[in-house]
Structure formats: structure tokens, C-alpha cells
Amino acid sequence: MVSLKTIILNCAILLTSVQADDDWNTLVGTWSSKSNAVFTGPDFYDPVDELLIEPALPGISYSFTEDGYWEEATYQITPSAKDHSCPVAALTFQHGTYEVNSTGSLILTPFKVDGRQLLSEPCEDDGVSTYSRYNQTEIFKKYQIYLDTYHGRYRLQLYESDGSLMQPLYLAYRPPQMLPTVTLNPTASDDASASGSSAASSSSANLSKKIKRGLENRYKTNAVKRQTIDYQFWWFTSLGVALFGCLLIFRG
């Protein structure tokens, strides 16, 4: 007669041999803040007409590819120090390349000519927002990826360069939902393939056509939206089923 202690021990060995998804601990994907309203990609920035599209709610989103590219979309509202009825709003788009160095810090280097920002300061700008180029290298001291069992989603926790926590981001799409990982709006000085202003202009026009075609097919993306799952419920359900199966096996 096999003892209950032996049965439980054997079941535990079987359960610990079950592995999680191979790719759970990777940056690859599109991550979004809790508002779940801001996502990278063509629904935030239209590079053909150079338009920033205001989401329904503030938030931030980062996307990362396996081969070292990133994209950022942020919509932030900050109370005005002078007048609380005049909050400052900023929409920002950037993309470029990233690297994780030996200390574990994450460095995001933008394509300088592509970054855009739309800044609204209603108490200062007479209702006319400022649209400008924007580029800012971002350095995070470290990052962590883990399963947030409360929200039932994979969570990306970024730490600012001084070690302070950013608001958490949750996996929304994998593969990521992003614009093309090339310079979208090259200038004559930043177009390495061009020789002269006419060549740069031609290259820019051809690229613009390619991007436009890509945007027309934007809903044909292979990015898959990650649904919220009650991992605690399924974990305990699976554990119960597994233990029941173990009891049948070892007692039989």
C-alpha cells in the first residue's frame, strides 16, 4: 500500500517538471499601461501625414522586437502649477534601437529625425498646440517581467535611471504591434542612401509610399492581442486535476 506522503511527493515531482511558456520572460511584444488605451503602431502615429492621434485615455506603451528595435507611444496629462483647470497634455512618439547591457540596464536609442511631440498648454498657447520634433535617449536601470496573478497578465516593470519604479505595463500584443522599424521621415542629412537633395527627396517619397501601403493593411497584422486570464483560477483547477490524476496513478 503506497502511503499518502509518497503519493504527494511523486505528484510534486511531476508538477514541477511542467514548464511555463518558453517566451514568457522576454521583452518582445507590445506593453501598455493599466488604462489599456494607448498602444504603439499606426493607431497612435501616422507617419505619412505626420499626425499624432489622441487616444481616449492617457497612458504609455512600449513595443520591442526580437532583433533589437523599440517603439514608444505616450499620452500624458500633467496638472498645471499655475492653474489646475489648465492641465498640460503631451503626445509623444519615438522609435529606434535598444540594447540590454551587462549590468542589466535597458538603453533605448531613438531614430533622431522620427520622434514627434504634440504639446498642449491651454493657459499658455491660446488653444494652439505645439507640434515639434522630439528625441530623447531613454535609460532604464533595470527591468523585470513576471506574471501578475492579480490582473492575470504578464507584467513589465521598468525602473528609471535613478532606480524609481515606473507605472507597470502589461502585455497586450505578441508579436508586437508597431510601425516599420526603419527611419520613417528621413531628411537629406540623415538619408545615407541619397546623394544630393533630389535623391533624398526621391528616397523619402518611395519610403512614404511603402509606409502608406503598410498602413492600408494595418488590420492584417499578425500581432495577437493577449486576453486577460484568471491565472489563479486555472492554476488551482489544474493543480486539483493533476493531484487527482496522481492519486489514481500511484494508488492504482
Asked if pLDDT for residue 238 goes beyond 80, the answer is no
Q: Per DSSP, what are the bridge partners of residue 64?
A: 29, 70
Q: What is the pLDDT of residue 227?
A: 52
Asked if pLDDT for residue 200 goes beyond 80, the answer is no
Surface-to-core class of residue 127, CB atoms within 10 Å of its CB (0-12 exposed, 13-18 middle, 19+ buried):
exposed
The Cα angle at residue 42 between residues 36 and 45, in degrees rounded to 5: 90
- If one compares 216 and 63, the residue with the highest pLDDT of the two is 63
Q: What is the pLDDT of residue 201?
A: 47
Asked if pLDDT for residue 30 goes beyond 90, the answer is yes
User: Residue 82: pLDDT band by 50, 70, 90 thresholds?
Assistant: confident
For the chain, what is the domain count? 1
Q: What is the pLDDT of residue 221?
A: 47
The residue-averaged pLDDT of 41-58 equals: 95
Q: What is the pLDDT of residue 121?
A: 86
Q: What is the pLDDT of residue 220?
A: 44
- Percent residues over pLDDT 90 in the chain: 53
Rg over alpha carbons for the chain, rounded to the nearest Å, is: 24
- Name the residue range of residue 185's domain: 4-251
How far from each other are the two terminal CA atoms of the chain, in whole angstroms? 10
Q: What is the pLDDT of residue 38?
A: 98
- Strand ranges (DSSP E) for 65-200? 69-78, 88-100, 106-110, 116-120, 130-133, 138-140, 142-148, 153-159, 169-173
- If one compares 171 and 220, the residue with the highest pLDDT of the two is 171
Q: What is the pLDDT of residue 54?
A: 95
Asked if pLDDT for residue 154 goes beyond 50, the answer is yes
User: Residue 14: pLDDT band by 50, 70, 90 thresholds?
Assistant: very low
Asked if pLDDT for residue 198 goes beyond 50, the answer is no
CB 87 within 8 A of CB 77: yes
The residue-averaged pLDDT of 236-243 equals: 54
Q: What is the pLDDT of residue 195?
A: 38
List the single range of 75-79, 183-187, 225-229 with lowest mean pLDDT: 225-229
- Among residues 77, 66, 164, which one has the least CA distance to residue 119? 77
Kindly report the average pLDDT of the chain as a whole number.
Answer: 78
In single-letter form, the type of residue at position 83 comes to D
- If one compares 236 and 192, the residue with the highest pLDDT of the two is 236
Q: What is the pLDDT of residue 122?
A: 82
The residue-averaged pLDDT of 229-248 equals: 53
Q: What is the pLDDT of residue 243?
A: 57
The Cα angle at residue 62 between residues 107 and 78, in degrees rounded to 5: 100
pTM: 0.71
- If one compares 156 and 20, the residue with the highest pLDDT of the two is 156
The residue-averaged pLDDT of 60-74 equals: 98
Q: Which residues of 62-98 are buried (b: 16+ CB within 10 A; e: fewer)?
A: bbbbeeebbbbbbbeeeeeeeeeeebbbbbbbbbbeb
